[in-house]
Amino acid sequence: MGAALASLEVAFGLDGLYCPRCGRVIFDDEISWDESTCPHVRFVRDWVGELWIAEPASVPAHQHAYQSWLAARLEGGLQELSIGDLAHRLPDSCLLLTVAEPGPRRDRGGATVTVALDLDPTAEAR
Ligand SMILES: [Zn+2]
Q: Report the separation in Å between the CA atom of 77 and the middle of ligand 1, taken as the mean of its atom positions.
A: 25
Considering only 18-22, 53-57, 119-123, which range has the smallest mean pLDDT?
A: 119-123
In a 10 Å sphere around its CB, with 0-12 CB exposed, 13-18 middle and 19+ buried, how is residue 59 labelled? buried
Instruction: Output the pLDDT for position 124.
Output: 63
Q: Report the separation in Å between the CA atom of 120 and the middle of ligand 1, taken as the mean of its atom positions.
A: 10
The amino acid occupying position 45 is R
Q: Report the separation in Å between the CA atom of 49 and the middle of ligand 1, taken as the mean of its atom positions.
A: 22
pLDDT (tens digit per residue) in 60-104: 998 999 999 888 888 776 666 788 888 998 999 999 999 887 655
With 90 as the cut, is the pLDDT of residue 10 above it? Answer: no
Q: Report the separation in Å between the CA atom of 107 and the middle of ligand 1, taken as the mean of its atom positions.
A: 31
Q: CB of 17 within 8 A of CB of 115?
A: yes
pLDDT (tens digit per residue) in 104-113: 554 554 578 8
Instruction: Output the pLDDT for position 68.
Output: 92
Query: Which is higher by pLDDT, 51 or 93?
Result: 93
Count CA within 13 A, CB hemisphere, residue 56: 13
Residues with CB under 5 A from ligand 1 (ion): 19, 21-22, 38, 40
Q: Report the separation in Å between the CA atom of 41 and the middle of ligand 1, taken as the mean of its atom positions.
A: 7
Q: Report the separation in Å between the CA atom of 74 and the middle of ligand 1, taken as the mean of its atom positions.
A: 21
